[in-house]
Structure formats: structure tokens, C-alpha cells
Amino acid sequence: MTFANRNEQWKHDKDGLEIIKEIPALADKAFKDIDPGDVERLKWAGIYAQRPRDGHFLVRVKLPSGQLTAEQAEVLANLAAEYGKGEIQITIRQAVQIHNITLRDACDILPRLKAVGLSSVEACGDVPRTILGNPLAGVDAEELLDTRPIVEEVFQFFLGNRAFSNLPRKFKISISANPHDAGFARINDIAFVPAKREGEVGFAAYVGGGLSAEPYLAKRLPFFIRPEEVKAVAIAVATLFRDEGYREKRNHCRLKYLVADLGAEAVAAKVEAQTGALLRGGEEVTAPWNYGRFYGVHAQKQAGLSYVGVHVTNGHIAAEDLKAFAALAKRYGQGRLRTTNSQNLVLLDIPESAVEALLQQEIFKAYPTEPGFFTGYASSCTGNAYCNFAPIETKHRLHALTAALDAAFPEVGQPLRVNLTGCFHACAQPQVADIGLTGGRARVGEETVPVYTVMVGGHLGKDAAFAAPLAGRVADAKLDACVKALVQQYLDLREAGEPFHATVARTGRDAWQSVVDQYAIG
């Protein structure tokens, strides 16, 4: 049998899940002696080759809907302190990553994760990934229903399930009943969003979204899905992807291409062929997008309790600080935290009477609950500190830029989201940012320097739209000036209360291209 590419060959030769029991044997080998197929299969264990030449990997831990107990946070912090240079990254899909580990380290890490109910299994690879969801699930005064049992049911069904361990590519599920699009629905393969039909609470569904070099917004399926039907619909879409998804060119294997070719009605018919007839119609319950941010102190649905949203700069948190937050969650709350898809943290269950004492803690100076409108709403990918693909450093660069913007534009008065991604893979989601930056390198004069392409006006939630790409590349030395000029133009053109993306939509792409033209290299 011949296969269209080596990944399909590898998956056929040996199921990716087989690698989990082989890790101790692989740990005895030098990286260069490990079969390339096994390096790929390590993703099924949640282990990703970070810096293969020096034998370093990352482990990604799945946190469905961002749920994390204080005990689990302590274990993650301990593992990061022992093996990961004392650092943890919160990802834009609510997972966490510990970098700089070896395969020998993984032999200790995986059982210690399992002992506290955590798993890295299928956190990477051509499989159903962790389930994105509402970080406030269960405490959210605005959620239509508590999605935790649904998320858990779907998560447990797919976890390590060999019927779905050989998909054409990764498969991303989002389940949220929060009206502010807390689950970033339209950039997922299958997303469930809150809806009502004749007074009944359930979900609408979107299918076939994704970013990377060729972004697609997910398309609405015509169904009203009852809570008890979510799992069946998720399985049906995963089955369609597994059986009919493209497997030839790796950059053309995501579900979004199949959905774009079939159309939403044909996908719906193929789903119903598996689930049986589903209800049609229903109205989505929407409110303005919250950007996945939950900053500050807010009342929970449980009387007398509050949640506290904390900013973690670009998702990078020291192990000792995560441990400190776990201790605070136990001391002031009920030992529960959440991670968000904006790479931040939320502490739950703080009694109103304890909020002031909690906020007096020293740690909130480094992790503010009310961050700046630029620094607090920016996102970056890991960049060249950890990623093989990255031509540039991202996290420090973005923080330097957004800190300068906070200082320069105190009058902005509302969030303005600048996302910096290291390459076309778009892990930092520049297409849904107000100002999206994609890094590269180019020769400028005698030097090869970081350069950036710019896009403007992206957003999710109701009327989601991708940012408009602008022509030209901006050299690093002029990046701050260019972005400041874009922000100044927004301040000059905006109407009262108008967010950045709405100003871009109203004024048109050319107005913004003319700004970038002043800073772009030839």
C-alpha cells in the first residue's frame, strides 16, 4: 500500500497511542537514533519535539474548559520546577505546557500527571485535542447551562479512543454556553454555542473553522442541539472527518477544507445520517465578544462568591507563582482555578468578605487583575524561545510593544488587541486580532532582521470577521512607530464607543494600508 505522505504511512504502520508505552525505551536513545515516525507519534503522548538537536521536548497537558484544581496546579508547578526550568506556558487553548524536558523526564512526568487526574494523551497529533470551553462554566451568572458535564463526557469519550486516533489532522472542539463567545467558536472544527428554541435551552453548532495560512470561519449547521445530543454530534463530525477528510497534502487536510467543499447543508445531512434527525432552528444567544478575558472581581452565580480574573503576560508563569496562586485558591476559595484561552488565570469561589484581603497579596503586582488595555489584551505564540518553526522572538517583543502602547495611549479607554505570531502557522491567532502581526526575517541593508506583516480589524463573536491583510513588511526597528500610527489613526477616526475592528470596517482597508505604507520596507 502506498500513502500520499509520510505522516499517513506512519499512522498506518503503528497507532500513535502505541508510543506511550514505548517512551522508556526511547528515552535510552539519542534523539538522532529515534525513528522519525516515533518522533511524530510522541505527539499522541502530548510530547512535542521542541529542540530536537539538543534533545529537548515539551509536554502539553489538556485542561478541558480550563478546569484546574489547586492540587493539580501544585503538581504542574512542581514538575515545571524539577524539569522545565521553573516555567509554565498557558496556551491559547487553555492547555498548559512545560518546556525543556527530556524523554527521561517524561517517564516521571506522565504518571505524576495521571495521579492527579491530568493527562497529556492526545494533546498533540492528528487526534481530537483538548476541549475548549467557558472558563467560568459552573459559576457563570450568564451561562445558559453548566457545560462541565458535557465537556467531561465528550472529553472522556475521545481520550485515547483508538477509533479516532488516526484522523487526517488535528480536530478541535469547543463547547460553551456563555453568550460572549468564550469558546472562540468560529475558529474551531466543531463548536457548540448557546441557543434557545421555543424556550428550551441547548446549542447551535458551527463546523469547519480554522486559522493557519488559509483561515476559514466555521459555518453554522442548521440544528438546534439538545445538551444530551452534543456528544453524538461531536462524534458524527469526527467520524465524517476521519472517513472523508483529505489525507493527501498535509496543509490541505484540516476539516475546514472538506466543509468548504461540501457546504454546510451536505455536512448536516451526513451528520444526521449518523445521529438520526435533529431539531432545526433555534436562536443563538449572543452578547458582545469578551475576547476570552475575565479580568477583575465579578459575582458568581453562587450568592456571596466572586471570581477573580488575573493577567498572565503572554501566558508565561513561573512555577513558584502558579504554586502561589494554588495556595491562594485554597486559602481564600475552594481550591479551584481556571485557565483561559487568552492565556490567563481565574481564581474561583472567593467570598465577598475575603476579596479585599486576597487582592492585597504581593503577587498581584506582577499578575494584575486590571491590566492595561494593550498589555492585558495581547497574545503571542511561543516564538523562537521554544518553537522550531519560529524565525523570531515573540513574547518579550510583544510585551515591549504593548507596554509602550499603554504608556503612549492612556486615552484609549477600551481593549485594543495586538497579537504577534512567529510564522504563518498563526498560533497566536493574528487573524482575529485588532492588529495582527506575523513575524519573519528579511535582509535590510547589511543585516537580516525580524520583519512583520500586518493585518487589521479581526474579531470573533457575533458577525465574526478575519482581519484584513495589509501589503508590505515592517522592519523591527520601525514596528513600534508603525503600530503607534495605526492606533493614533483609530483614535482620530473612531466614533463614540466604537471598537477598533468596527472603525476598520467602517473606514475600509485602504485607510490602514496607507499607514503601513509609510513604514514598510521596499
Q: Which residues contact ligand SF4 by CB under 6 A?
A: 381-383, 387, 389-390, 421-423, 425-427
Closer residue to ligand SF4 (CB): 315 or 499: 315
- Residue type at 30 in one-letter notation: A
Give the nearest distance from C-beta 99 to ligand SF4 in angstroms: 12
Please report where in the chains the cell 472558563 appears, as a residue. 135
133 vs 439, beta carbon nearer ligand SF4: 439
What cell does 226 get?
A: 439538545
34 or 427: CB nearest ligand SF4: 427
Considering the complex, state which of residue 49 and residue 381 has its C-beta at the smaller distance from ligand SF4.
Answer: 381
Least CB distance from residue 424 to ligand SF4, whole Å? 7
Least Å distance between CB 383 and ligand SF4? 6
Q: How far is the CB of 391 from ligand SF4 (least distance, A)?
A: 7
Pairwise CA distance, residues 109 & 317, whole Å: 19
Strands 96-101 and 305-310: unpaired
CB closer to ligand SF4 out of 430 and 457? 430
Element (H or E) spanning 357, and its range? Answer: helix 355-359
In this complex, which beta carbon is closest to ligand SF4, that of residue 222 or of residue 440? Answer: 440
Between 191 and 387, whose beta carbon lies closer to ligand SF4?
A: 387
Q: Rounded distance, CA 25 to CA 130, Å?
A: 27
Specify the residue, 131 or 387, whose C-beta has the smaller distance to ligand SF4. Answer: 387
Least separation in angstroms between CB 92 and ligand SF4: 10
Cell (9 digits) for 324: 502561589
Q: How far is the CB of 381 from ligand SF4 (least distance, A)?
A: 3
List, in sequence order, every residue forming a beta bridge with 204; answer none if it has no partner: 193
* Shortest Å distance, C-beta 379 to ligand SF4: 11
For ligand SF4, which is the closer residue by CB, 144 or 398?
398
With 0-12 CB in 10 A as exposed, 13-18 as middle and 19+ as buried, what is 286?
middle
Q: 414-427 burial string, b = 16+ CB within 10 Å, else e?
A: ebbbbbbbbbbebb
| C-beta separation of 135 from 338 below 8 A | yes
Helix pair 103-115, 19-27: axis angle to 10 deg: 140
Angle between helix 500-507 and helix 476-493 axes, rounded to 10 deg: 80
Say how far apart CA 35 and CA 41 lie, in whole Å.
10
- To ligand SF4, the closest distance from the beta carbon of 423 in angstroms equals 3
Pick from 217, 179, 165: nearest CA to 45: 165
For residues 120 and 118, give the distance between their C-alpha atoms in angstroms, rounded to a whole number.
7
Nearest distance in Å: CB 389, ligand SF4: 4
Of 144, 149, 49, 143, the closest CA to residue 101 belongs to: 49
